[in-house]
């Protein structure tokens, strides 16, 4: 009878998970299970490590500042943001490497064609200013040899020696690894040997790399493994490659790759990687996790019965919660960790506290007025905001991919302006004047727009369109369609009660 009850409970769980909404999925999880993604939204290129009983992670932040948001967890499933490590604009920050060596925390990262490093005594900071390393390539991966010598591996199979303090390189990069031979009949974007992640176990160094191209065909990306008796090769390919891969465009998760293997505090092994959700490339690459197990001949594999789109057992998980609220009542005297600017980091434009965000105006449209943005995580959601215009400003809500491609609803107090594909569409007189409420509803890519005098009774504006194509496959950049607010012209806009609500 007990077995029947357990089976019935698990059947109900699976039914709830297949029903849809991410928050309902998480609430339905039975004790000891988690669901993917472990971080929903655009959190690509995860770099994660264990420090005792704690885990720390960061991701590519590209051209958003402040950047390199640090996450903390005690179970690898529930993550809490600690703060941003990078505030100096050094360009587009790609796949980082986050680690602890001796008593110092390091983040190595490529930006603007060169690599850099920042250091801190704690994951909470304070973080140093970026230190330039005179070496190109992308995707640094750190490893320490038996003799204590430190190295950085890079894309293309290159390696360079590091100084003992890790703040400079020694010598020239040299080639170490050619990558796994992808079968000729597989549909990939390129060889693209990237994302070297290394660890030492049982007298061998293990190298996990990404290949096939981050985007392109849904089946392109993958994570492959190799091992060597030294930290610089020669490398032997795993007979179980690829370790992580999307085999069909019908799968829930596309372009699975860029994996970091690690052992948890109880000795269980996992691989953390990124992937796009089928049909929702606008959300960017989510962070996912699968268990791995070791074979008798010293290789690791994902168990054959593990399915990324179904609940996965994990002993130390009791509940899976949302990691970061995107809504903001602006009561605190500093911006929440959900917010960042596109390209320009200018905190002087922001005044926050006592329930208000006053955003100084800049530029004439969302493309040249860096909006303040956060990362959505749901296929369908609503954004609402109260606005008050001061001076000759125009402001409101935006869904922003890049400087040329965005959507939004703004007002100058006289008219409503809807942006579609980065172009303004005048859509009628604003009866609210210089203060009121705006709302954008994004229901599986279909945008609808609303206004209200009191935030309760809403009037719909008859201008809807789809944003499904606002993603990397059309416009490049490896980023996502973010949500937020914009202030343009002269003066400032006071915003109150930014609300992000998942639908369904």
Quick: pLDDT tens for 117-153. Answer: 999 999 999 999 999 999 999 999 999 999 999 999 9
Confidence band of 10 (pLDDT split at 50, 70, 90): very low
Q: What is residue 20's predicted lDDT score, i.e. its pLDDT? A: 42
Q: Which domains does the chain have, with CATH numbers?
A: 43-313 (2.115.10.20), 340-502 (2.60.120.200)
pLDDT on residue 14: 40
Are 226 and 219 in contact by the 8 Å Cβ rule? The answer is: no
Enter the tokens of residue 143: 């490893």
- Position 30 confidence tier, pLDDT thresholds 50, 70, 90: low
Lowest mean pLDDT among 21-30, 110-119, 341-350: 21-30
Structure confidence by residue, pLDDT tens digits, 194-243:
999 999 999 999 999 999 999 889 999 999 999 999 999 999 999 999 99
What is the pLDDT at residue 19? 43
Q: pLDDT for 244-259, tens place per residue?
A: 999 999 999 999 999 9
Which pLDDT belongs to residue 471? 96
- What is the model's pLDDT at position 15? 41
Per-residue model confidence (pLDDT) at position 16: 39
Express each pLDDT in 62-86 by its tens digit: 999 999 999 999 999 999 999 999 9
Output the CA torsion sign for 397, 425, 283, 225. Answer: negative
Look at residue 2 in the predicted model and tell me its pLDDT. Answer: 37
Buried-exposed string 61-80: b where 16+ CB fall within 10 A, e elsewhere: bbbbbbbbbbbbbebbbbbe
pLDDT of res. 54:
98
Q: Are 252 and 89 in contact (CB under 8 A)?
A: no
pLDDT of residue 28: 43
Span 170-189, pLDDT tens digits: 999 999 999 999 999 999 99
**Residue 191: C-alpha distances to residues 90, 182, 187, 211 (Å):** 28, 8, 11, 6
Mean pLDDT of 439-454: 98
pLDDT of residue 344: 84
Q: What is the mean pLDDT of the chain?
A: 94
Mean pLDDT of 270-285: 98
Question: What is the spatial distance between Cα 225 and Cα 213, in angstroms, rounded to a whole number?
Answer: 16
Please write the tens of the pLDDT for every residue from 356-396.
Answer: 999 999 999 999 999 999 999 999 999 999 999 999 999 99
3-state SS, residue 208: strand
């Amino acid at each position: 009878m007990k077995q029947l009850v357990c089976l019935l409970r698990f059947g109900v769980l699976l039914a709830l998970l297949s029903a849809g909404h991410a928050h309902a999925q998480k609430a339905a999880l039975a004790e000891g299970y988690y669901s993917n993604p472990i971080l929903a939204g655009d959190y690509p290129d995860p770099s994660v490590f264990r420090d005792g009983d704690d885990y720390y992670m960061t991701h590519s932040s590209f051209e958003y500042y402040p950047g390199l948001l640090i996450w903390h967890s005690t179970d690898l499933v529930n993550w809490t943001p600690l703060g941003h490590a990078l505030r100096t604009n050094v360009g587009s920050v790609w796949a980082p490497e986050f680690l602890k060596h001796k008593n110092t925390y390091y983040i190595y990262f490529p930006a603007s064609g060169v690599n850099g490093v920042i250091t801190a005594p704690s994951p909470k900071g304070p973080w140093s200013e970026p230190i330039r390393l005179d070496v190109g390539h992308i995707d640094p991966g750190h490893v320490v040899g038996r003799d204590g010598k430190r190295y950085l591996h890079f894309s293309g199979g290159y390696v360079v020696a590091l100084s003992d303090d890790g703040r400079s390189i020694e010598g020239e990069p040299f080639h170490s690894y050619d990558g796994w031979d992808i079968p000729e009949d597989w549909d990939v974007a390129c060889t693209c040997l990237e994302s070297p992640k290394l660890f030492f176990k049982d007298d061998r160094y293990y190298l996990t790399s990404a290949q096939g191209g981050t985007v392109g065909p849904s089946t392109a990306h993958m994570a492959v493994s190799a091992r060597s008796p030294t930290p610089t090769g020669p490398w032997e390919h795993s007979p179980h490659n690829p370790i992580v891969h999307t085999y069909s465009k019908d799968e829930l998760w596309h372009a699975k790759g860029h994996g970091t293997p690690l052992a948890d505090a109880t000795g269980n092994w996992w691989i953390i990687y990124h992937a796009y959700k089928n049909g929702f490339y606008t959300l960017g690459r989510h962070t996912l996790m699968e268990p791995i197990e070791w074979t008798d001949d010293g290789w690791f594999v994902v168990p054959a019965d593990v399915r990324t789109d179904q609940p996965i057992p994990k002993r130390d998980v009791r509940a899976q919660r949302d990691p970061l609220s995107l809504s903001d009542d602006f009561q605190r005297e500093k911006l929440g960790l959900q917010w960042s600017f596109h390209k320009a980091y200018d905190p002087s434009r922001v005044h926050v506290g006592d329930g208000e965000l006053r955003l100084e105006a800049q530029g004439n449209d969302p493309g040249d007025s860096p909006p303040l943005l956060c990362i959505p995580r749901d296929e369908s959601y609503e954004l609402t905001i109260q606005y008050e215009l001061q001076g000759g400003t125009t402001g409101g809500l935006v869904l922003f991919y890049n400087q040329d491609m965005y959507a939004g609803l703004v007002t100058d107090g006289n008219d409503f302006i809807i942006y579609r594909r980065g172009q303004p569409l005048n859509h009628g007189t604003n009866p609210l004047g210089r203060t009121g409420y705006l709302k954008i509803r994004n229901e599986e890519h279909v945008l609808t727009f609303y206004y209200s005098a009191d935030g309760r009774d809403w009037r719909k504006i008859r201008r809807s369109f789809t944003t499904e194509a606002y993603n990397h496959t059309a416009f490049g950049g490896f980023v996502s369609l973010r949500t937020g607010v914009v202030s343009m012209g002269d003066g400032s806009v006071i915003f109150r009660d930014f609300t992000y609500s998942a639908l369904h």
